[in-house]
Amino acid sequence: MRLTCLLFAGCVLCSVSVTAAIEPISTSIAVGMAAALTGFLARYQNVFYYFQECCRPEWIKYNQTGLKNDLNTKLYGQHVAAEVIIKAVTGFMNNKTPKKPLVLSLHGWTGTGKNFVSQLIAENIYEKGMTSNFVHLFTATAHFPHEAHIDSYKTQLQEWIRGNVSICPRSMFIFDEMDKMHPGLIDSIKPYLDFYDNLNGVSYRQAIFIFLSNAGGENIVQVALDFWRDAREREEIQLKDLETALSLSVFNNKNSGFWHTSLIDKNLVDFFVPFLPLEYKHIIQCGLAEMVSKGHVPDKEVVESMARDLNYFPKEERVFSMQGCKVIPSRLDFYI
Ligand SMILES: Nc1ncnc2c1ncn2[C@@H]1O[C@H](COP(=O)(O)OP(=O)(O)O)[C@@H](O)[C@H]1O
Ligand SMILES: *[C@@H]1O[C@H](CO)[C@@H](O)[C@H](O)[C@H]1NC(C)=O
Ligand SMILES: *[C@@H]1O[C@H](CO)[C@@H](O)[C@H](O)[C@H]1NC(C)=O
């Protein structure tokens, strides 16, 4: 009788096997013991799973209520993005047999919550959120800085995606600064986003890819500004008001790596998610939340004096925050 345990994708898996002994009596004892041990393992196997993160439902489970709550209470001023995200992620996570991986492209001005939303998605799928071994964040300028090394980046990135998805099909890949990514590099990940049943024995259909960029940000700002100048509510802005602005800019911006690739032509992106520029009142909300997260009692006066000192555009009207909520964590310290 033999007890074998192995480590696979972070999970401890144990099994019991019996080799026939010469004497029939001891064989039957061994079989009996093995059956008992197998029963024990079947019952307590789950205990092993809690030791460390592994690719199982104990660690990877979509919380729809949680994501909805987070988008409604923690994300400020992004009603369009929130609606698209909850629809896209829920549809995909509830589909037992998706035909392709989920590909989201998040667009908008800097500091408006694109990384933050990716983090909220990760936290409501992976028990360990962004620190999960199955969530991978790549930043163009940090991970792929030198154009001369593009060929080795390509092989490396493909190897990483293949390796990680074969360990855990429900892997998430976030690419920040997508507009600064070399077109060749974007091209190299294209096969993984497509409708293939499998590529060399690995299926990518459970994976999630999220692209973040400022591409189209200026056109989104223009739409928001038009609404503001017409004295219409920001909440009246709908996805369809932004869709044309977004697609035109993405298609026409020859400087953005996106344009050079057929990501868009081939309909590999499932959802384009627009992020609106943030206003003074959202800066206040971010500031108050930041005070709480730093362990202070939220103080409106402190946050207001900080918010007043930030830069806003257009110059005369001062409607939208230049850096969004991005600089708040560091700025706030000077005002507390
Ligand atoms: N719309 C928002 N609602 C709440 N917090 C926000 C929002 N936008 C930005 N923040 C805060 O500012 C930080 C930086 O924003 P980030 O998501 O990195 O911006 P982006 O990726 O769009 O440049 C976030 O971690 C978050 O704390
Ligand atoms: C899902 O999220 C909600 C709200 O954040 C939380 O109360 C609940 O416990 C979570 N459910 C699971 C199964 O983790
Ligand atoms: C998974 O991705 C990470 C980068 O996030 C990389 O360091 C690692 O080598 C990859 N694992 C495999 C098995 O390819």
104-125 tens-digit pLDDT:
999 999 999 999 999 999 999 9
* Average pLDDT over every residue of 45-50: 66
Residue 219, helix vs strand vs coil: helix
Q: Does the CB atom of residue 136 touch ligand 3 within 6 A?
A: yes
139 touches ligand 1 (CB under 6 Å): no
pLDDT, position 210:
97
Percent of the chain with pLDDT over 70: 90
Token readout for 254 is: 């020859």
> Please, which pLDDT band fits residue 199 given cuts at 50, 70 and 90?
confident
What spacing in Å lies between the alpha carbon of 69 and ligand 2's midpoint? Answer: 9
Q: What does each C-alpha distance from 10 to 6, 44, 49, 161, 325 come to in angstroms?
A: 10, 17, 8, 17, 37
Tell me, using a 6 A CB cutoff, whether residue 116 lines ligand 1: yes
Known binder of ligand: residue 244?
A: no
The alpha helices in the chain, defined as continuous H runs, are 24-49, 64-73, 79-93, 114-123, 140-143, 150-167, 183-193, 217-229, 239-252, 257-260, 280-293, 300-308, 328-332
At residue 203 the predicted structure's pLDDT band, cuts being 50, 70 and 90, is: very high
State the distance from the centre of ligand 1 to the C-alpha of 52, rounded, in angstroms. 30
pTM of this structure: 0.90
Q: How many CA atoms lie within 13 A of 66 on its CB side?
A: 13
Whether the pLDDT of residue 283 is over 70: the answer is yes
Q: Atom 2 of ligand 2 has which residue's CA nearest to it?
A: 66
For residues 11 and 47, is the Cβ–Cβ distance under 8 A? no
Strand, coil or helix: what is 99? coil
Q: Does residue 175's CB lie within 6 angstroms of at least one atom of ligand 1?
A: no
Residue 186's nearest CA partner among 120, 105, 93 is 105
Atom of ligand 1 nearest to the CA of 176: 21
Would the CB of 65 count as within 6 Å of ligand 2?
Answer: yes
Nearest residue (by CA) to ligand 3, atom 2, is 160
